[in-house]
Amino acid sequence: MAKKEGRSANSTAAGESDGTAGATSPLSSEIPSPEAVCDDPSANGYVVWHRKHLRTDDHLALARAVDEGDVVCPLFVFDPSFYVESGIACDARVRLLHEALASLDKLYAAVPMRTVTRTGEQSREHVAVATPLEPGASNDRSTSPERSPLHGAESPGLTFGYGDPVALLSRFVGRGWSVLTMATPTSRYGQRRDERVRTVCGDAVEFVSGDGLVRGQEWSRTEWQSHVEEWLHATQHAPGWDEHTVTRLTIENGVTPAVVDDSFGIVPEKTQVPAGTHRAATTQLQSFVDRLPGYPANISAPQDAREGTSGLSPYLNFGLLSVRQVYQHVTEHAPSCRGLEMFTDRLVWNMHYNQKLVDWPGWTDRAVNPVFEEFNADRHDPELVTAWKRGETGFPMVDAAMRCLRRTGWLNFRMRAMCASFFVHILHQPWWIGADWYHHHLIDSDVGINYTQWQSQAGLIGKPSQRVYNPRKQVRDQDPDGEWITGWVPELAALPDQFLDRPERTPLAVQEECGVVIGEEYPRPIVEFESRRELFWSRYERLRPKAAQRLGRPAIAKRASFSGGYGAAQAIAAEYGDPDADGGDTQLSLAEVADDRAAVSHRDDSTTRSEGHPGETGSPEEDEDGTTRSESEQTTIGGFD
């Protein structure tokens, strides 16, 4: 994301340092004890630390704080570690987050309750300062005639902090507060941050498991499906505002979403980005109910999918809506139809992939099956990577999809999977480079879905089924009239539709007549598809028996986190593994397979090699290509759809 020249952050947002961890706000002196807020020496105070569950309904940590506490301080901390030039989130996703936080501020401000607002060293009380907003009403702090979604409520409801979250939370704990936060699947920095919080704050902080995922069990997949179904149908966790006398503390310190947005020069360039408000999320959910009957027919073709899919994934990712809220709303209000069944299945798959990240946070950085740890690493070609990122590969379906991703931050599942397959299987590039590119640009990028799907599409797990997408076939199947392609690759607009799957085969006379010279206006293919596909298969199939065998090891089976549990992994190892290959090094030497050009049997354009898929939830299904689908081909809601 962009950062303003010469500024790390606006001084108003940063506050002062009290020696704990640099510029972190609010200061200890600005944080009252729970006893001081309630004027009660036995008052019990909870900080509700919001991170990704940016809502007030179906929020177990908040519900518990309201039920058990005398005073509650809802808190979000802007962590400067995420606001750097090499930040992994594009400005459009950051802006959507900021809008969601301003919207959450208004939700809290709209709750009629006793409120204590502290500004600097002064405290003032407001009793029943807010009433629920009527549709179309505004509780905006902005004085601009045009309401900005970055501006929160006129009377604040949410405390915003800035700086190291661990330092700030420790200040609250030092003043006698306990901290409740929703447990969230995370990795990399987020995992290290959470461990630091546990170390510094000890028993004063609790990560509340309220998202339906299984934590703390040796094998999370034991009766996982029934656990998830029970959670989806259970009563939502609503805060009992009317049942308990609780005071809300809000600390005003100059930190707001608008200030932080301006301080770091967040200037989104993407178009068609949804509004990051709870009202927009609810409106999208309600409109999707009406569109659900047409869902099955409109999710694969990218031109249709923009309106045909739910459009809920950004809101699920940041937690403006919970999976359970969406599930219960559509099952209650949508007509019984195939679309409803398909969509609710995909909500379960959302949880399935996030369960994988809970079970093994290493999905973001390491191959789940160590046999594939460095697959393609020795073939890294920056020029091929750049062509893929820019949408200049000479494969129109890939190029249209990659340009759409950069411009809008969105792709439907089939296009995401196709481009991932092309990157790993045809360009032979390391999977993690492509996964990070997606995660940077996708408005809805869910860590638990993006990285597990990339590994699944790349074939790094060791399952007996693997798909290689043919982007030329996708043109014929999903965009036969070229509407999608020519919209994103306008240099091909004058080319007759019948040549859009392979422009390089357009007769020269036709190229001259329509003014589209392949190799000039549009590039020739940067690789030869068929030979690269065959080379991938020859390399991959040398490793696959050893990878299948490795799944029999409990540690690797836990990483893979099949919905069928350890039994599914053992079944794959027993039927497809090579016992003689499961010793010594963690993988075959890549040098052994790098130049293997052995002939392999012919594959048709469906390009799926499937030998069954034991132990996974459900049975294989047929997609539009007529090819067997396994776990890696299932679509999900909330990140990879």
Q: What is the pLDDT of residues 418-435, one digit of tens each?
A: 999 999 999 999 999 999
Please determine, for residue 601, whether its predicted confidence score (pLDDT) is greater than 70: no
Alpha-carbon span 45 to 37, nearest angstrom = 9
The average pLDDT across 555-570 equals 95
Q: State the pLDDT at residue 86.
A: 58
Among 118-127, 345-354, 513-522, 603-612, name the one with the lowest average pLDDT: 603-612
Residues 6+ apart with CB under 8 A from 227: 212, 214
Please determine, for residue 1, whether its predicted confidence score (pLDDT) is greater than 90: no
Q: State the pLDDT at residue 72.
A: 98
Q: Give residue 520's pLDDT band: very low, low, confident or very high (50, 70, 90).
A: very high
Q: State the pLDDT at residue 88.
A: 73
Q: State the pLDDT at residue 624.
A: 33
pLDDT per residue as tens digits for the range 474-505: 999 999 999 999 999 999 999 999 999 999 99
The average pLDDT across 119-138 equals 41
Alpha-carbon span 163 to 80, nearest angstrom = 6
The average pLDDT across 148-160 equals 84
pLDDT per residue as tens digits for the range 300-347: 999 999 999 999 999 999 999 999 999 999 999 999 999 999 999 999
Alpha-carbon span 640 to 633, nearest angstrom = 11
The average pLDDT across 278-294 equals 97
Q: State the pLDDT at residue 85.
A: 60
Among 9-23, 255-269, 309-323, name the one with the lowest average pLDDT: 9-23
Distance of CA 22 to the CA centre of its chain: 30
Q: Give residue 82's pLDDT band: very low, low, confident or very high (50, 70, 90).
A: confident
Please determine, for residue 107, whether its predicted confidence score (pLDDT) is greater than 90: yes
Please determine, for residue 385, whether its predicted confidence score (pLDDT) is greater than 60: yes
Q: Give residue 23's pLDDT band: very low, low, confident or very high (50, 70, 90).
A: confident
- pLDDT mean across residues, the chain: 85
Q: What are phi and psi of 394, to 5 degrees?
A: 85, 5
Give the domains, in start order, of the chain with CATH numbers: 11-263 (3.40.50.620), 278-358 (1.25.40.80), 363-633 (1.10.579.10)
Neighbours of 134 (CB within 10 A): 7
Residue 600 CA: distances (Å) to CA of 486, 535, 542, 596, 612: 36, 9, 11, 11, 20
The average pLDDT across 547-557 equals 97
Q: Give residue 524's pLDDT band: very low, low, confident or very high (50, 70, 90).
A: very high
Q: What are phi and psi of 383, to 5 degrees?
A: -70, -40
Q: State the pLDDT at residue 607.
A: 43
